[in-house]
């Protein structure tokens, strides 16, 4: 089942499509983080301004250097010791679609611990976008059953895993990390 779901997602991602999928936190909308057109589709579906950035998921902190130039050593400690999902906003993003990079050149990166996401990213060999599966300004759905029907209808594939899961999750903690190693919490 897992393998079939991953294969279907990879096919959709390679074609520039959007997936609706379970994550470490809430259900997410995702696409290839290097595909500008696919990212634009998510902004349109969410009715979200492109100035409001989205995060990307990686399967390993060893891949950070591929997508950001400034990685202070403390980043690895933050990732290793975080008890809850953690998104770190790094300066000097690279090798990503321009519309996923913030105006200041930064990007939010979360190293996923979710089995499905980790395996999907390993097999896809690229980062994927992760943003809550809601219309901008509305509450992020805690459970699959709370996802807006327009969101479901607007994606190319809905992952057939964890749809009955009723364990509440919350959004990730977000930390802005400067190249000198100082950091500040954006969302706790």
pLDDT, tens digit, for every residue of 62-101?
999 999 998 999 999 999 988 889 999 999 999 999 999 9
With bands split at pLDDT 50, 70 and 90, how would you rate the model's confidence at 54? very high
With bands split at pLDDT 50, 70 and 90, how would you rate the model's confidence at 188? confident
Using left for φ > 0, alpha for ψ between -120 and 50, and beta otherwise, residue 16 falls in left
| Helices within 15-70 (DSSP H only) | 36-46
Q: Specify the pLDDT at position 169.
A: 76
Q: Distance (Å, rounded) from C-alpha 111 to C-alpha 80?
A: 10
| Model confidence at 133: pLDDT above 90 | yes
**In whole numbers, what is the pLDDT of the chain averaged over residues?**
93
Cβ–Cβ < 8 Å for 6, 94: no
Cβ–Cβ < 8 Å for 111, 59: yes
CA dihedral (51, 57, 62, 63) positive or negative: negative
Structural domains in the chain, sorted by start: 2-187 (3.90.870.10)
Q: Specify the pLDDT at position 155.
A: 98
Q: Specify the pLDDT at position 1.
A: 85
| Model confidence at 157: pLDDT above 90 | yes
């Amino acid at each position: 089942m897992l393998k079939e779901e991953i294969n279907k997602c990879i096919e959709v991602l390679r074609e520039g499509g959007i997936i609706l999928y379970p994550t470490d936190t809430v259900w997410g909308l995702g696409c290839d983080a290097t595909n500008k057109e696919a990212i634009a589709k998510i902004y349109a579906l969410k009715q979200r301004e492109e100035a409001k950035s989205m995060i990307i998921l990686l399967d390993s902190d060893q891949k950070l250097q591929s997508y950001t130039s400034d990685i202070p050593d403390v980043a690895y400690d933050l990732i290793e010791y975080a008890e809850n999902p953690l998104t770190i906003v790094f300066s000097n993003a690279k090798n990503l679609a321009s519309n996923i990079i913030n105006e200041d050149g930064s990007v939010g990166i979360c190293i996923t611990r979710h089995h499905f996401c980790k395996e999907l990213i390993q097999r896809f060999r690229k980062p994927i976008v992760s943003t809550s599966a809601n219309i901008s300004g509305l509450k992020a759905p805690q459970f699959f059953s709370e996802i807006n029907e327009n969101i479901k209808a607007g994606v190319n594939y809905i992952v057939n895993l964890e749809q009955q899961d009723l364990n509440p999750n919350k959004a990730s903690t977000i930390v802005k990390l400067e190249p000198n190693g100082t950091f500040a919490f954006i969302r706790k």
